[in-house]
Amino acid sequence: MATEDTGKEAAIPFEGKRRKVSSHPSQNEALIFEKSSPGKRAYRLPPLDVPEADPSALLGTSARQDPGMLPELSEIEIVRHFTRLSTWNYSIDLGMYPLGSCTMKYNPRVNEFVSRLEGIAEAHPYQPESLSQGALGILHLLERCLLEITGMDAITLQPAAGAHGEFTGILLARAYHQAQGDPRHRILIPDSAHGTNPATAALCGYEVENLRSNSLGMVDLAELEHLVTGDTAALMLTNPSTIGVFESEIHKIADILHAKGALLYMDGANMNALVGKTRPGDFGVDVMHLNLHKTFSTPHGGGGPGSGPVAAKKILEPFLPTPVVVEGPRGEDGRATLRLDYDRPRTIGRVRAFYGNFGMFVRALAYILANGPDGLRQTTEDAVLNANYLRSKLEDLYELPYKTPTLHEVVFSDRRQAQKGVRTGDIAKRLIDYGFHPYTTSFPIIVPGALMIEPTESESREELDLFIDAMRQIAREAQENPELVLTAPHSTRVSRLDEVAAARKPMLRYMPPDGAVGQ
Ligand SMILES: *Cc1c(COP(=O)(O)O)cnc(C)c1O
């Protein structure tokens, strides 16, 4: 065996233990363009047996003159290229994904099985209603489940994500105030809020007013009372808040708003801590969104399809986006036929093509039905238990800025590690070396240097213990050898990337080094 090739690793004697990490067969996979060589093909076509067409005869001057620079590879090279790249991905199928606020829970395989059933996967959105009773039944049943879970009166499944749900919900509030002849101009948002909340309010034409949190990280009732006026359209509140704390005075918050004619909007992205335990409709919320891709386990991340249904109280129902699924007359079997109602004169209009991201509805409904009411309650309890387990195992090493009881996520700060120059982003990068996806860094902004950790109920005690070991080891490193943490990750192909430039100046096309190919 050539020991010089395997280097450092070969020097570690094999002690009969299995090693956790093995390296990728090719850590230096080139770009597909760089692997190209002229004339290679991944297909073979039969000889042309018709006259060859002249593209310019068909397309005139629009016909492209040069063939463009497309990579030329064999089939196995293409397969290997993408398979190798896929092994560099981190995913929930590989390990824990503790991104706080994001609820990166496992998407059970049964969801995928159901969503791929032929009648579901291949239904066309323009099929007539008479041939779509099954699909409409899925929409209708999911709506009823979500209304039961939230305690609200009416719902739309259309919005494609959480932020889109916020936009839809605030448009409902705006339509409501306008219909009362009382258009209002301001929306209150706590300083702990997710960035999409102020963005939504601004996009809907409102002035955003900042509501300071109190020392427990909750809404300051006196401050709220002071700020709510006849010009306040709504308060946008995340409950539990982004520090994982339940607003225990939520009833009073709702009363203060309602007394001035303002509405309570709840950002329901954190419903994972509430499902089966308490219902926003029962504690005074007027309108809220859900993230099916968080709480209800549908796949999440990489910009894939999400789903952000909006549930509302009766007073907002006339304004819901069209179409709305409604029950028609009952047939002989006692079942109502379902139809799509487009005739809603006060609607805010459509917010999404067709009926929303249907595949997400199927998965979410499968998840809800597979768990049942007791199972859903159990997931909530387990999510809260897991977050508290992490809290209790890490709070001696990491600063806990708010001691209020934790629900489904726990927020530490890097105050102690910062004394050695190690910040939350460094600790997060070092976690990669231990085989975990980083937690959420630097959010919420009311906690300077935040480490926001949400394990979700998907994780076993064993996986949580591995995570705890890694976090404890990193805390030790930050004291004894801060440089090791500051220069992490060490196990990846590339280390510290320029994240700002990647977001602001993304390079989305291949530029050959010699600039040989035209634009
Ligand atoms: C995730 C999240 C959102 C936004 O949801 P998207 O689906 O990402 O648009 C809004 N608020 C909170 C608190 C969230 O965690």
Which tens digits make up the pLDDT trace of 138-148? 999 999 999 99
- Cα(49)–Cα(259) distance, integer angstroms: 80
Q: What letter represents residue 503's amino acid?
A: A
Above pLDDT 70, what percent of the chain? 93
Q: Going edge to edge, which strands form the sheet with 232-238?
A: 154-156, 310-312, 287-290, 263-268, 232-238, 186-190, 207-211
Distance from the alpha carbon of residue 165 to the mean position of ligand 1, in angstroms: 9
**Residue 244 — pLDDT band, cuts 50, 70, 90?**
confident
Q: Whose CA is nearest to atom 1 of ligand 1?
A: 102
Give the 3-state secondary structure of residue 375.
helix
Give the rounded percent of residues in the chain with a pLDDT score beyond 90. Answer: 77
Confidence of residue 10 (pLDDT cuts 50, 70, 90): very low
Question: Which atom in ligand 1 lies closest to the alpha carbon of residue 163?
Answer: 9
- Domain membership of residue 176 (yes or no) is yes
For 450-487, b/e burial (b = at least 16 CB within 10 A) is bbbbbbbbbbeeebbebbbebbeebbebbeeebebbbe
4: pLDDT confidence band, cut at 50, 70 and 90? very low
Residue-averaged pLDDT of the chain: 91
Can you tell me which atom of ligand 1 is nearest the CA of 161? 7
Q: Phi and psi dihedrals of 213, rounded to 5?
A: -85, 155
Give the CATH number of the domain where residue 164 resides.
3.40.640.10
pLDDT for residue 24: 52
Q: Report the sign of the C-alpha dihedral through residues 108, 469, 11, 429, in that order.
A: positive
Q: Indicate the number of domains in the chain.
A: 1
Confidence of residue 358 (pLDDT cuts 50, 70, 90): very high
Alpha-carbon torsion angle 159, 163, 169, 174, nearest 10? -120
**What pLDDT is stored for residue 189 in this prediction?**
97
Q: For position 247, what pLDDT does the model report? A: 93
Q: How far is the CA of 83 from the centre of ligand 1 (A)?
A: 31
Residue with the smallest CA separation from ligand 1 atom 4 is 162
The answer to whether residue 494 is domain-embedded is no
Q: Which of 164, 166, 194 to mutate to test the pocket of ligand 1 (most atoms within 8 A of CB)?
A: 194
**Structural domain contains residue 121:** yes
Say if residue 2's pLDDT is above 90: no
**Cα 268 to ligand 1 centroid, rounded to whole Å:** 8
Q: Which atom of ligand 1 is nearest to the CA of 196?
A: 10
Range name among 81-85, 176-180, 475-479 with the lowest pLDDT average: 81-85
The answer to whether residues 274 and 150 touch, using CB atoms and an 8 Å cutoff, is no
Q: Angle CA(139)–CA(140)–CA(141) in degrees, nearest 5?
A: 95
pLDDT tens profile 146-160: 999 999 999 999 999
The domain of 119 spans 110-368
For residue 494 the two structure tokens come to 């590339």
- 352 ligand 1 Cβ < 6 A: no
Q: Is 103 in the pocket of ligand 1 (CB under 6 A)?
A: no
| pLDDT of 199 higher than 50 | yes
What is the CB-side half-sphere exposure of residue 57 using CA atoms within 13 A?
3
What token pair was written down for 263? 């509405």
Q: Which atom number of ligand 1 is nearest to the Cα of residue 300?
A: 7
Among candidates 283, 404, 305, which has minimal Cα distance to 357? 305
Residues across the chain? 519
In a domain, 183, yes or no: yes
Ligand 1 atom 5: residue of nearest CA = 162
* Phi, psi (deg, nearest 5) at residue 221: -60, -40
C-beta 101 within 6 A of ligand 1: yes
- Rounded to the nearest whole angstrom, what is the distance from the C-alpha of residue 313 to the centroid of ligand 1? 21
CA distance 400 to 404: 10
Pair type for strands 186-190 and 324-330:
unpaired
| pLDDT tens readout for residues 81-136 | 999 888 888 888 889 999 999 999 999 999 999 999 999 999 999 999 999 999 99
Residue 496 inside a domain? The answer is no
| Long-range contacts (CB closer than 8 Å, 24 or more residues apart) made by 336-344 | 337/129, 337/133, 338/129, 338/133, 338/136, 338/137, 338/139, 338/140, 339/129, 339/136, 340/129, 340/136, 344/318, 344/320
pLDDT digits (tens, 9 = 90+) for 395-428: 999 999 998 889 999 999 999 999 999 999 999 9
**Given the CA of residue 193, which atom of ligand 1 is nearest to it?**
13
Q: Is the CB of 306 under 6 A from ligand 1?
A: yes
Cα end-to-end distance, the chain, whole Å: 49
| Per-residue model confidence (pLDDT) at position 307 | 97
Residue 467 · residue 439 · CB < 8 Å = no
Q: How confident is the model at residue 23 (pLDDT cuts 50, 70, 90)?
A: low
Which among 450, 290, 259, 251 is positioned nearest to 368, based on CA atoms?
290
In this structure, of 65-69, 239-243, 340-344, 450-454, the range with the lowest mean pLDDT score is 65-69
Gap between the Cα atoms of 281 and 299, Å rounded: 27
> How many secondary structure helices (H) and strands (E) does the chain include?
17, 12
Distance 210 CA to ligand 1 centre (A): 19
Say yes or no: CB of residue 196 within 6 Å of ligand 1. Answer: yes
Residue whose CA is closest, atom 3 of ligand 1? 162
What's the gap in Å between 66 CA and the centre of ligand 1? Answer: 45
Helix runs in 233-292, H state only: 250-259
Answer whether residue 13 shows pLDDT above 70.
no
3-state DSSP assignment of residue 309: coil
Residue 409, domain member (yes or no)? no
Determine the distance separating the centroid of ligand 1 and the alpha carbon of 305, expressed in angstroms: 13
Report how far ligand 1's centroid is from the alpha carbon of 123 (Å).
Answer: 29
How far apart CA 170 and CA 11 sit, in angstroms, is: 62
Pocket test for ligand 1, best of 289, 291, 446 (most atoms within 8 A of CB): 291
20 pLDDT tier (thresholds 50, 70, 90): very low
* Dihedral angle sign, alpha carbons of residues 360, 363, 364, 365: positive
Q: What is the pLDDT of residue 140?
A: 97
Residue 67: its pLDDT value, please? 79
As a whole number, mean pLDDT of residues 447-462 equals 96
Is 269 a pocket residue for ligand 1 (Cβ < 6 Å)? yes
- With respect to residue 436, please indicate whether it lies within any of the assigned structural domains: no
Q: How confident is the model at residue 518 (pLDDT cuts 50, 70, 90)?
A: very low
Q: Output the pLDDT for position 303.
A: 64
**Lowest mean pLDDT, pick from 299-308, 353-362, 459-468:** 299-308
Neighbours of 364 (CB within 10 A): 27
134 is a domain residue: yes
Nearest CA to ligand 1 atom 8: 162
C-beta of 238 in contact with ligand 1 (< 6 A): yes
Kindly state the DSSP code that residue 29 receives in the 8-state scheme. P
